[in-house]
Structure 1
Amino acid sequence: MSNAVRADLLGPLLKRVSRSFYLTLAVLPAPMRDPVGLAYLLARAADTIADTSLIEPARRLSLLLALRAAVRGDRGEDTMHAIARVADEVAGQQALPDEKRLLESLGAALAVLGEFDAADRAAVVDIVATLTTGMEFDLRTFPSEDSGDVAALSDVSELDRYTYLVAGCVGEFWTKMTCAHLPRTFDEPQETVVARGVRFGKALQLTNILRDCSKDLRIGRCYLPTALLERHGLTPAALLASDASSRARPVLVELMATALAHYRAAADYTFSIPRSSIRLRLACLWPILIGLETLRLLAANDAWLDPEKISKVRRNDVYRLVAGSTAAACFDGVLRAWMERMIRDIEARLARPSSAVLA
């Protein structure tokens, strides 16, 4: 693998496909940047395979499993033929040029993975295997996007397991990479910090699930558990009705309470990072603040199940959160008070009757 190809893969291409996550990657300490960046690229490629609706789910699953096998080191003829087919079948269906290029660069990404030392390679293999297990769950659990059917997770424990597979494991990976490359970062036992890291990832994923619920429902995916819906007299299909946002608000309140508890663990995780490790702190602070701002918008959104009214943080607000947290990165009291104010504001909005919530 030439240095130029590797630099382009982990530089310009990574920046173009990672969007807001690149802010986090850019401030990571140098020893962590390449393995975390490559793990992101491989996971993003896998996610694109799993989400390309113009290809039937069974075929997407076959290609996804082939990518997992290749990441694990299987370079057999069948596996590598399947990787080549990704470039032909999936890349050709992408409207965005950078997504297409990423899929066409899988061979280069696998070559870079082979250049990592054994510990980093094993960590990347493990996280990609876990993330693709979550994607496999989606493809096996939910109907085809154009079927008109809706399927749901069964209960809260299944939702919790799912949030681990698709995001909690990232917090675990992140923490283990930190401990490996920056071994004096945490004073507490690794298992304690890893547990908080898992909850950090779950907080972000639960936020994404609630934010994107309306769009997911319209492609047949309901991540709100059936058991929870039934307690409030609802079914997955009922969430598509015009009055669903108000009827399902108790479900939103309950799941947001879970998310906020996870965010408090994420805050504890962040404050366990020494103030001298500013880059690592910022890499944690930004997703927490953006996630809490998303929940604040959700709590204020009377039409949260309307796909035309998604609670999305505006670009200018992202810049405001980034600038403010950068200035306060070394001041634990200021940061903790800021997060607690955001959490209390969210809780206050959730406590109001739906008709009284102000946007």
Structure 2
Amino acid sequence: MQNSTRAFLLGPLLKGVSRSFYLTMRVLPPGMRDPVGEAYLLARAADTIADTALISPERRLALLLALRERIDGTTNDNGVLAQLTSEVAGQQTHSDEKLLLESLAGALDGLAQLDDGDRAAVRDIVTTLTTGMELDLRTFPDERSGDVQALATRDDLDRYTYLVAGCVGEFWTKMTYRHVPGALAPSLETTMCARGIRFGKALQLVNVLRDCGKDLRIGRCYVPASMLDAFGLEARDLLQPGASLRAQPILFDLVGVALEHFRAAIDYTFALPRLSLRLRLACLWPILIGLETLERLVSNDDWLDPAKTSRITRNDVYRILACSTVLAPSNTLLNRWFTRLIDRIEAKIHAGIKAQN
């Protein structure tokens, strides 16, 4: 792949399909950028296929599995790329996602040019992520059916958060050990991989809770049926007026799980050398954005209403970027910031539980 093509894929195109991840990419140490960027672009292309609701779930699944085989080297047939261009690219309302699907040949060329270790790691992470997308397509009904289906158990939710995000923390850790020698103690590799998995799970739980109302309206309920049963609820009940308050104990429970994962993510960040500012910032930003989102969620009495989103604002993001850049080398100041956020979230939960009783 020519340098100009790589620059376009990992620059303007990546920025177009994910502004937030693009910010993280810009602060990564140089050696990590190509494999992490390649993994993101390939996974984002697969996710675009899985989310194209105008195509039947069965056809999306077939195209997704065909692309996975092309990425993992099971086949070298580029016919799937032509199918994606003709069947999926034209359905995209977002021009950058259309361009991403049309640029897959270049992304695959970039994958082929990675060294053996990075190429194997990228293939492994994309395989895992697409397994999570496959789970979605096999578990949930067609978005246009009007039906709603929930995951069955808490274990199913935990497995889902690993498949679509926890595995990313594991991959990220492996890339750090490969490309930033000395940043992490070799004796801590197993511990850091486990923390990285929990880091990813924390971020995905935030996504699940923040987007719950929107997902329900396309038939997907990631809140497990076993948790709903405990409060006499079914997935469809979460679409009814007043559901946010009825399901608030479930929200508090899952926010508590997310906070425990975030504590592991904070330990992960503090294990990085204080002067490894790029790696620290790449961890700090999602942690702080995630915690501030949780604070909005536990303060939102209509958290299941898509019109009353718990997303933080762009100005909030800019504030987090600016403040964290200044504080990144100081564990003491960062810990105060984290502690204040977590304390406020837990105080809201305790107040909410008391009000329910």
- Pick the TM interval, shorter chain: over 0.9
Tell me the equivalent position of 2:34: 34
* 2:9 counterpart of 1:14: no
Q: CA deviation at 1:183?
A: 2.5
CA separation in 1, counterparts of 2:118 and 2:225? 39
CA deviation string 1:56-94 (max 9, x = no partner):
0000001100111011113444xx212211011110001
Tell me the equivalent position of 2:3: 3
Deviates most, 320-329 or 2-11: 2-11
Tell me the equivalent position of 1:328: 327
The normalised TM-score by structure 2 is: 0.97
Contact 2:249–2:353 at 8 Å: present in 1 too? no
Contact 1:156–1:225 at 8 Å: present in 2 too? yes
Contact 2:150–2:224 at 8 Å: present in 1 too? yes
Q: CA deviation at 1:14?
A: 1.0
CA separation in 2, counterparts of 1:294 and 1:321? 12
Tell me the equivalent position of 1:181: 179
Contact 1:87–1:104 at 8 Å: present in 2 too? yes
Tell me the equivalent position of 2:309: 310
Q: CA deviation at 1:52?
A: 0.3
Q: How many residues align?
A: 355
5 Å-filtered alignment, 1:41-190, equals 41-77=41-77, 80-187=78-185, 188-190=187-189
SS in 1 for 2:167: helix
Q: CA deviation at 1:356?
A: 7.3
Tell me the equivalent position of 2:274: 275
Tell me the equivalent position of 1:246: 245
Tell me the equivalent position of 1:209: 208
CA separation in 1, counterparts of 2:314 and 2:3? 34
Which residue identity lines up with residue 114 of structure 1 in the other structure?
Answer: A
SS in 2 for 1:228: helix
| Aligned CA-pair RMSD | 1.3
Q: CA deviation at 1:18?
A: 1.5
CA deviation string 1:154-175 (max 9, x = no partner):
1101100000000000000000
Which residue identity lines up with residue 228 of structure 2 in the other structure?
Answer: L
CA separation in 2, counterparts of 1:355 and 1:216? 29
Which residue identity lines up with residue 40 of structure 2 in the other structure?
Answer: Y
CA separation in 2, counterparts of 1:183 and 1:140? 41
Q: CA deviation at 1:354?
A: 7.8
Contact 1:256–1:295 at 8 Å: present in 2 too? yes
SS in 2 for 1:219: coil
CA separation in 2, counterparts of 1:189 and 1:334? 24
Tell me, which stretches of 5 or more residues in structure 2 are unaligned? none
Tell me, which stretches of 5 or more residues in structure 1 are unaligned? none
Pair 1:276–1:262, CA change in 2 (3 A): same
Q: CA deviation at 1:46?
A: 0.4
Q: CA deviation at 1:197?
A: 0.3
CA deviation string 1:129-166 (max 9, x = no partner):
00000000000000000101011101101100000000
Tell me the equivalent position of 2:290: 291
Which residue identity lines up with residue 105 of structure 2 in the other structure?
Answer: G
Contact 1:39–1:127 at 8 Å: present in 2 too? yes
